[in-house]
Structure 1
Amino acid sequence: MLAWLATTPLQWRKSIKYVAIDMSATYRAAVRAGLPHATVVVDHFHVVQLANKMLSKVRRRTTAEIRGRRGRASDPEWKARRRLLRNREDLTDEHFATMWNTLLGEGTIGQTS
């Protein structure tokens, strides 16, 4: 990427205000080196993907800590798994309330102090 940027006109490079990338450290380093004045933004898909991965990681970890085992289909946090990964706007108010109230009823699952 840096080699390609070096072949572009300086005026063109200076006119770039924003660069949208995935969350690759390599791409970010290249943008920072080649376009130091540009603001790096991350696309929506990759932010949501990272949030979903983290949600699953936290759910697995807290289940193991609280229950001392892997999650099972009968555990409330695993029953709610699909709902947790859906967009809020794709859930009915009833489904959201069921998911949220079930998790809150379990105590500190997924909550930090």
Structure 2
Amino acid sequence: MNIYLIAEKNIELNYFKRNFKKKMKSTEFNLDSSLAAKLNVIANKKECFVILITNTILSRKDKNYKIIKNHIEKNKEINFIEVGLNKSLVETNKTISNTLMHGFKKNSWPLLEKLINYWGNKP
């Protein structure tokens, strides 16, 4: 199982590096202008996780969210998880993510780990 982590530049990833990188193959991307080119690696992947971690949940109209959405919609085998570390207003527009969690701050990491372990062990 592969994990593709997309994070804002100011997000601390020490927990991810300690706990996820040991267990699963993972790749980290920054949420920046070269995101579209970086996401081409997930085009034909089977059973992988794309995890978007930001301080607050991105607007559905955000340029980066639209780029991610276009790549996710091309491959139905991808599990997409959105994590907003701080509580935020979530738009009522339909989301494409399998899981959306926000407001747990540093507790988001252990919850995320449990989710991935659960999905990774499903038959």
TM-score band by shorter chain is: under 0.3
Give the structure with the higher percent helix: 1
TM-score under structure 2 normalisation? Answer: 0.24
TM-score under structure 1 normalisation? Answer: 0.25
